[in-house]
Structure 1
């Protein structure tokens, strides 16, 4: 993919691309493992950075209420498994974090493309959240989300009251 291209974004009703990735513990995990459950798949640029830590801890602190509403959470980044292992341990994360080093899954989900930061243009991970329904279809697709306050906004957008 050229640096001027942005991958196609998913839309509500699209079939969520299947994937199998390695989690922080070294286990293989697939989207199909979550069939029959509502699954929040969120993409973040880099473990242990301020924004990504804030967002991950927000999901960590909300996981029980999300699960009580039938939602599972999967975090995906281009980090190596060893970095994710430290991130999970340091932040006591209670949901799977998955390594997408070649960013193939991020590309399939439209979460990889051109970014601009302080006038610099480069290709990278676009902070994004895709909610997949029980049948494996996209129920909600959000791109360029903010790390701070994202879970509360996601809950509002899903029509579930913040708890």
Structure 2
């Protein structure tokens, strides 16, 4: 998924089992951020940065939605533990990570495995991708500030 592409209408199911559609956010910019795993250090830092900047992001017209392949139950615990004010999509069937092009082969300590590339998409009010933060561009500890600087 690249700048100028239309984002998918069906985003998936959140931590409450609710089906999330992009059209639910018409008229708002959406920060759709993909992260590898609940309760890992980098993912927690990123989520907390977005949490700490959430009211400022909302005041600029943004809605934040997180996505990982973790279960809804895992997302619920992650939200409660870190008091996250935004919804998390449980993409357990990997449909959205594949559609958005953020699922692929990764490598850690020489071991290869399939996983989610940490990526953030800014989607405009009409559902079109306006900006993409690639894995190398996302700064987990200050991601909220990165978005506010746009």
Q: TM-score, normalised by structure 1?
A: 0.86
The answer for the alignment partner of 1:125 in structure 2 is 116
Deviation at 1:113, TM superposition (A): 1.0
Backbone CA RMSD of aligned residues: 1.2
Matched, 1:134 2:125: yes
Matched, 1:26 2:17: yes
Structure 2 residue ranges without an equivalent (≥5): none
The answer for the alignment partner of 2:68 in structure 1 is 77
Residue deviations 1:62-105 (CA, integer Å, cap 9, x gap)? 11000000000000010100111111111111011110001110
Candidates 27, 43, 53, aligned match of 2:34: 43
- Stretches of 4+ aligned residues off by more than 6 angstroms: none
Q: Distance in 2 between matches of 1:151 and 1:120?
A: 31
The answer for the alignment partner of 2:50 in structure 1 is 59
The answer for the alignment partner of 1:99 in structure 2 is 90
Contact in 1 for aligned 2:34/2:119 (Cα 8 Å): yes
Q: Distance in 2 between matches of 1:84 and 1:43?
A: 13
Matched, 1:12 2:13: no
Structure 1 residue ranges without an equivalent (≥5): 1-9, 159-163
Q: Distance in 2 between matches of 1:20 and 1:119?
A: 33
Q: Distance in 1 between matches of 2:17 and 2:142?
A: 30
Deviation at 1:142, TM superposition (A): 1.6
Paired residue secondary structure (1:24): coil
| Residues paired across the two proteins, number | 148
Contact in 2 for aligned 1:77/1:99 (Cα 8 Å): yes
Q: Distance in 2 between matches of 1:39 and 1:85?
A: 21
The answer for the alignment partner of 2:145 in structure 1 is 152
Q: Distance in 1 between matches of 2:106 and 2:141?
A: 19
Q: TM-score, normalised by structure 2?
A: 0.93
